[in-house]
Amino acid sequence: EIVLTQSPGTLSLSPGERATLSCRASQSVSRSYLAWYQQKPGRAPRLLIYAASSRATGIPDRFSGSGSGTDFTLTISRLEPEDFAVYYCQQYGSSLTWTFGQGTKVEVK
Amino acid sequence: EVQLVQSGAEVKKPGESLKISCKGSGYSFATYWIGWVRQVPGKGLEWMGIIYPGDSDTRYSPSFQGQATISADKSISTAYLQWSSLKASDSAMYYCARPNGDSLFHWYFDVWGRGTLVTVSS
């Protein structure tokens, strides 16, 4: 099973700042099959990014994903008030053994 | 609009049985896989398994094999997650979600239900 480790655990930033979230895999994720989700309190996760760098439908372009192999990054170029949430990465490179990271909370500084 | 509507919160005692549901609409339910994801309060996400409603082909995460049973009734566009004997450790939020992707069994989740909170307590 591929273990995903997200860092930092919590990111304290102000609106307008840039957020950089990391997701590191215990082994290479084939074909960069990595997704990112946003989850707000009391809400279901929302897909942001798939295939490491493709934005899902309706996701603003301030969200971008990059990376390959074992190291992936989600960048929020300028934080909007609605972006403060928990973010999870998920690998789906291993057939039917998909795993999620433990999450990074982006909070208001 | 594609939607997954889940059944309401449940409070059960250890040892009781439970079946929660997820009704799909806005798409051809029988021809898309649908999955279940667990989230213990304050914790992360865990994929449990998926089912193809068209023929009830079901695949489980190795971590959840034998823990719960996934089923579906394509005639009413509804998927189910059930337990025969609940434990306190089954207390969690359970989401149904539709997998997507361009390679078989290499999928992310692009549509999510709102979740069903299951509380198991004596």
Token digits for B49? Answer: 């398994």
**What does the alpha-carbon distance between residue B110 and residue A46 come to, in Å, rounded to a whole number?**
7
Phi and psi dihedrals of B118, rounded to 5? -110, 125
Which of A1, A54, A98 to mutate to probe the B interface, most B CBs <10 Å?
A: A98
Which of A96, A97, A100 to mutate to probe the B interface, most B CBs <10 Å?
A: A96
Average pLDDT score over residue span B54-75? 94
DSSP state letter for B66: T
**What residue has token string 């433990």?**
A102
Of B49, B27, B28, the C-alpha closest to B38 is B49
**Which tens digit of pLDDT belongs to each residue from B70-105?**
999 999 999 999 999 999 999 999 999 999 988 888
Facing A95 at nearest CB: one of B44, B105, B109: B105
All residues of chain A having their beta carbon less than 8 Å from the beta carbon of residue B105 are 95-96
Could you list the pLDDT tens digit for every one of the 109 residues in chain A?
999 999 999 999 999 999 999 999 999 999 999 999 999 999 999 999 999 999 999 999 999 999 999 999 999 999 999 999 999 999 998 888 899 999 999 999 9
